[in-house]
Amino acid sequence: MAPPSGPLIQVGSTLGRPPERPTPRKEFVGIPPDDAAFRWWLEFDCPPRRQQPWARLLLSGDALRTSRSLVGHADLDPAEHRQLQQRAELAQQQAADCAPCPANLFAHSTGTPSPIGCSGAIAYPLSAAADQALALSIEFVLRQRLGGPAVALLSLILDNQLRPERIAHLRHQTAPRFFESAQPLELALSTTVGDVALTTDHLWEVLLGFRVDPRYAAAAYVPYFDLLEGALAAAPHEVVGPLRDDRTVVGLRFLGNAYRLAAALKVDVVTLL
């Protein structure tokens, strides 16, 4: 089949106007400001969330997964591991409720019971490899001349003339350090209104710090993460090899699974900077 001709993105027409734009999450959740991680979760109503402070559950779930990942490491500090296990106790107490939960993405993906498995975190700084992966997704659009749902998230950026001011500010901070690279990677797109210069900060801007309803997740975010998977699968091994094992890229791909599950369950996804 011959690739389509003409501009890659029909500005203002790819999605039409979805019922709601994703809106920034402004509520105070109670995560300590020195807890250096980008967090996400599915807004799924459940007994643990009704009975315990959500911030404590999030941090306890993280501690449990971190504690499990450190088992068997030669350089494991026993005192540090005991502290993690203590922080994980609250999550462990939710095991009976969390094990059968349909929003438990960690259990679905790994086959291992994981209390508070409807949430996750990606440690800062966000890696330079993740910037490269986002840039690969745009190069894939250009190479395959994709349109329609695959570029819906890019249309969101262009339709709203989004400026990545939040991310640009965070990228230049050093305490804490949010990004490994001081500068984003530059991108170029052909649209119905001409060529547009973007950077990977534009993509980070719509990926981080938003509440996204399930209709928007299905219409824009799931297609984007499918696009990212396609770009990684199509890239030469020497390019994509180092990216696949990168912690931020692994975390982003797992976030894509969170959006897929949220769309299926018809619940919001919240990403918290």
Q: What is the pLDDT of residues 131-189, one digit of tens each?
A: 999 999 988 887 777 777 888 888 888 888 888 988 998 898 877 789 999 999 998 77
The candidate with the shortest Cα–Cα distance to 191, out of 1, 3, 2, 13, is: 13
The candidate with the shortest Cα–Cα distance to 57, out of 97, 25, 24, 112, is: 97
70 and 205, same structural domain?
Answer: no
Residue 119 pLDDT greater than 70, yes or no: yes
98 and 63, same structural domain?
Answer: yes
Q: pLDDT value at position 80?
A: 79
> Last residue of some domain: 117, 150, 166?
117
What dihedral do alpha carbons 64, 70, 229, 132 form, nearest 10°? 120
C-beta neighbour count of 195 within 10 angstroms: 9
61 part of a folded domain: yes
133 part of a folded domain: yes
- Spatial distance between the Cα atoms of 95 and 75, rounded to a whole number of angstroms: 29
93 and 53, same structural domain?
Answer: yes
Q: What is the pLDDT of residues 223-248, one digit of tens each?
A: 999 999 999 999 888 888 889 889 99
Query: pLDDT tier at 253 (50, 70, 90 boundaries)?
Result: very high
- What separation, in Å, do the N-terminal and C-terminal C-alpha atoms of the chain show? 42
Which residue segment(s) compose the domain that 147 sits in?
125-272
pTM listed for this prediction: 0.85
108 and 201, same structural domain?
Answer: no
Query: pLDDT tier at 221 (50, 70, 90 boundaries)?
Result: very high
Helix ranges (H only) for the chain are 47-51, 54-70, 78-87, 89-92, 95-98, 105-110, 128-144, 152-159, 165-171, 200-207, 214-216, 222-234, 237-244, 247-265
> Last residue of some domain: 101, 117, 133?
117
- What is the average pLDDT score of the chain? 82
254 and 165, same structural domain?
Answer: yes
206 and 74, same structural domain?
Answer: no
Q: pLDDT value at position 163?
A: 87
213 and 188, same structural domain?
Answer: yes
- Spatial distance between the Cα atoms of 201 and 169, rounded to a whole number of angstroms: 10
How many Cα atoms within 13 Å fall on the side-chain side of residue 144?
17
98 and 73, same structural domain?
Answer: yes
- Spatial distance between the Cα atoms of 12 and 17, rounded to a whole number of angstroms: 8
Q: How many domains does the chain have?
A: 2
User: In this structure, what token pair is assigned to residue 42?
Assistant: 């599915």
